[in-house]
Amino acid sequence: MNNDLINQLDNDQTKLAVSLYRYVSWADMLRMQFENALTRDRQELEHRLKAKKYAFEPKLLESAMYICLWLSILYIVIEGWPRLKINQPQITKLLRSRFKDLLHNFRNATFHPEEYDDARLQTLVAKGQESIDWARKVTFEFKSFFESILIFP
């Protein structure tokens, strides 16, 4: 991919690409914060889950906050992507995943919760590492794509 593609986009596509790049950048920053918080707190979280001691400590809620925000912001990019009308096979393949619909529901549960333990959050998370790996790949593919057309050497 090269930044010649930016010259082929019309004005509306360019504005949308710039806007979506902002959101994918935020999503990637939130992903990094999630991974840092989870690494830091993993042992304590696992201990509490096994012991069924669910304390609402802000520090231990941090990783949950970051994953909810990362995945929800990522869905903004997924939602806007078709409007660009750009064919990127790697992105198209990733967006055909069953996780896309689960992510949509996850985003809705994050910003429009019906209850604390909303099933729409749990459905995606219950897929385990596979869903996180998929979201990470989608984030990286979008970031790589937008940086290749918007950031010039």
pLDDT in tens, 18-44: 999 999 999 999 999 999 988 888 787
pLDDT in tens, 84-141: 999 999 999 999 999 999 999 999 999 998 887 778 887 887 788 899 999 999 999 9
> What CA–CA distance (Å, rounded) separates 140 from 91?
10
Which among 41, 31, 59 is positioned nearest to 134, based on CA atoms? 31
Integer Rg of the chain from CA: 17
Domain chopping of the chain, boundaries: 9-150
> What CA–CA distance (Å, rounded) separates 153 from 147?
10
pTM of the model: 0.85
- For residue 97, the surrounding DSSP H or E stretch is none
pLDDT score recorded for residue 1: 44
> What CA–CA distance (Å, rounded) separates 138 from 4?
23
pLDDT score recorded for residue 29: 98
